Amino acid sequence: MKIVWYTVASILLLCALTFAQDKKNMDNPFFKTWTTPFETPPFNDIKVEHFMPAYEEGMKQHDVEIGAITHDQEDPTFQNTIEVLEKSGKLLTKVDYIFASLNDANTNEEMQKIAKTIAPILSKHNDDISLNSRLFDRVKQLYDDRDKLDLTTEQKTVLDNYYQGFVRGGANLTDEAKDKFRKINEELSILSVKFSENLLKETIAMGLVIDNKADLAGLPDDVIQAAAEMAKSKGQEGKWVFTLQKPSFIPFLQYSNKRELREKLFRAYISRGNNNNENDTKKILSRIAALRVDRANLLGFKTHADFVLDRYMAKKPENVYKFLNDLWKPALKRAGTEVDDLQKLINKEGNKFKLEAWDWVYYAEKVKKEKYALDEEMLRPYFKMENVRQGAFDVAAKLYGIQFIERNDIQVYHPDVKVYEVKEADGKHIGIFYSDYFPRDSKRSGAWSGSIRNQSNMDGKYITPVVFNVGNFAKPTADKPSLMSVDDVATLFHELGHGLHSLLSNTVYPNAQSVPQDFVELPSQIMENWAMEPEVLNMYAKHYKTGEPMPKELIDKIRNSQLFNQGFETVEYLAASFLDMDWHTLTNDTEKDVPTFEKESLTKIGLIPQIESRYQSTNFSHIFSGGYSSGYYSYIWAAVLDADAFEAFKETSLFDQATATSFRKNILEKGGSEDVMVEYKRFRGAEPKVDALLKRRGLN
């Protein structure tokens, strides 16, 4: 009887546990049909504890879907193999897109723990697919027979993407090499998350705490007030806090009369990740670089850069280096002239010191005021964030005939977030757009665009995109709205350009939207061109108090000063691009001493001491935790494209409808559905030339 009782009790306990698990799953929004507007994420219902079960179920479903392909007894066809692959993993993709988005923009310790836990699990899951020999055999058979198949241009591209993805994912490796490949990917996934986590902690730190009012000399009132409010939020009421987020530290460097404090804050910023504390990133990044060499070698490439660039427009590291060097020489020459101008002002003021990197922004602001009677504080009142955002929307509307309509019935993940429905001029729904523009401790630094759901049109079922833009612009204070710098304005327009690329996508397959990294910045950077055009400034640059448009004399000053500081801006950017390439053209897996390696890299190109690289290795998130390794050069590569493309508008008019329609149809809607240079030439009529970029930056 005792045994029977124990068995019944076990069954009852198992039933209770199963019921509890089922109920828990029933409460998990990822396992329900979303009845929200346009099936947007129900952020109010999504809790941290929902992610791991949803990830696990998503991977389980994905495995079943992959198994169905590999056990299909029919000969492979595009429909029963590639299209099924495109449709697989929907739950996993949904969970991962939302988790990754929130972990970047609104994270916490629990989210970061999940990120560290799930990274190696996802790495293994993805490797299980990439290294599945039966699946690869089916894809390879289609690829080998591709010329005999009746495929559209887009289908050929998608097939090529899958085949290359498998090969680059290790499908052709021996079993022994596959095991090593898996271990490398697993370790890289963990290190990337750790780098990002450490850098976030370093970036949200208090860079400078001021308790003596005299140390605020030179700072505008709104900068002082923002610092006081920051101090209060950090438990330092009665003091003034400047963080290492750009909206906080840049104004301090621009206006503070206290040179020793500028140096202190500047050094704190460039030393992020290099403080020999628990958040140090040196060992992490040197290990990442070494592992990337090993992985590239396994796949038959000399360096990580060779591996990455093989699928980019640039194709080879030597092409990137040549491109960078061609720009470096005129940029460095221009920067040398700028050094002389700044040093003359220092001397004129009776100072005996030589210009240093922490002096540049401060004296550049003074030179700009002296040369052009213009400084940032004259412009900020006309760049209220809400007006700038509406201005960017209006530019998109005039170019592409679309509308951004605010929706208050769609859930958000933070009160700072605004939501817009995007429609065609005739009212047809295009997609959903979230904007999230203010810094907080739960958000990583910088600005970016991303998707929660990609557009697709398989089997005649059109899926509309859900897109977001994130930034870190100045927060409103007690008596002022968010007022932006010229750089902030350009950034907002830039990210909306990325957003439009996602929103206006019109491909059949999601895979066809992927474009080379050195092309992806074209849609974003071309949008920046409109921001400071007089016709566009008249649309949105209104004084936040009076509503008066920006005076013509101020607009003229902006136009006259457009070549100002271009040497500095180009040099600091190019220095980071060289640093990226040097890290990723290593040919052996010896882990480097980071400070020594970085110094040698920047000395080799002749970087002048008055300018620091835009990023240091220890805080270069683009290449060590983002998707830009061997690809940071792509911003200026795409700048050649966008300068040339914008000339097409200048040759007609800013809002010429034929030109805008061609850009939308051939660039924004096409994604990577065919060779991107073919797309570009269809729009422009010829390959781009560097001349327009050199002219724009005054480097010719």
Which listed residue (365, 421, 495, 598) is catalytic?
495
For residues 116 and 194, the answer to whether their CB atoms sit within 8 Å is yes
Contact between 105 and 439 under an 8 Å Cβ cutoff? The reply is no
Residue 276 backbone class (left: φ over 0; alpha: ψ -120 to 50; beta: rest): left
Q: Which two tokens stand for residue 675?
A: 């060779």
User: Contact, 210 vs 169, CB < 8 A?
Assistant: no
For residues 365 and 379, what is the distance between their CA atoms, to the nearest angstrom?
13
Mention every residue, 6+ apart, whose C-beta is less than 8 A from residue 491: 447, 471, 473
Q: Rounded to an integer, what distance in angstroms lies between the CA atom of residue 475 and that of residue 248? A: 10
Asked if 256 contacts 362 with a C-beta cutoff of 8 angstroms, the reply is yes
**CA torsion angle for 591, 594, 595, 600 (degrees, to 10)?**
70
Question: Both tokens of residue 416?
Answer: 């700072």
Residue 631 Cα distances to 101, 492, 670, angstroms: 22, 22, 22
Q: Is 533 in the active site?
A: no
- Please check whether residue 24 is in contact with residue 54, taking contact to mean a CB–CB distance below 8 angstroms: no
Contacts for 505 with CB less than 8 Å, ≥ 6 apart: 454, 455, 465, 513, 668, 669, 671
Nearest-10 crossing angle of helices 90-105, 51-70: 150
d(CA 440, CA 249) in angstroms, rounded, equals: 14
Q: Which amino acid is at 395?
A: V
In Å, how far from its chain's centre is CA 611?
A: 24
Q: Can you tell me the distance from the alpha carbon of 130 to that of 120, in angstroms, rounded to the nearest whole number? A: 15
Q: How, if at all, do strands 402-406 and 461-463 pair?
A: unpaired
Q: Which contacts qualify for 256-260: CB closer than 8 Å, 24 or more apart?
A: 256/216, 256/217, 256/218, 256/219, 256/362, 257/217, 257/218, 258/215, 258/217, 258/218, 259/353, 259/358, 259/359, 259/362
Vertex 205 angle, CA 201 and 209, to 5°: 175
Q: What angle do CA 538, 543, 545 make, to 5 degrees?
A: 150
Residues 6+ apart with CB under 8 A from 324: 574, 577, 578, 581, 633, 636
Cβ atoms 316, 332 nearer than 8 A = no
Q: Looking at the chain, how many residues does it have?
A: 700
Residues annotated as catalytic are 495
